[in-house]
Amino acid sequence: MASLAGLLQLQGHRITGSDKAAYPPMSDLFALARHSYSERMAESNLSPAPDLVVIGNALSRGNAE
């Protein structure tokens, strides 16, 4: 996901994200690219409403975000 986020950011998109825990090497990539991310999943992370949401394989059914 971090690689895709980086490519989209290079195209001018604003990138945000969330995960239960970000750790190296992903946390390092987020820091280098200055991606905004939350270490908790919550419906409030979707405000303002995104144009696109990319869902990874770690998301459980029923997650409000």
Q: How confident is the model at residue 15 (pLDDT cuts 50, 70, 90)?
A: confident
Query: Contact, 43 vs 62, CB < 8 A?
Result: no
In a domain, 25, yes or no: yes
- Statement: residue 41 has pLDDT above 90: no
Using CA atoms in the order 42, 47, 50, 55, what is the torsion angle rounded to 10 degrees?
A: 0
Burial label for 10, CB within 10 Å (0-12, 13-18, 19+), is: exposed
Q: How many domains does the chain have?
A: 1
Q: Is residue 12 part of a domain?
A: yes
In this structure, is residue 56 part of a structural domain? no
pLDDT > 90 fraction of the chain, expressed in percent and rounded: 5
pLDDT score of 28: 81
**Across 45-61, average pLDDT:** 84
pTM for this entry: 0.65
Residue 63 within any structural domain of the chain: no
Range of the domain at 31: 2-46
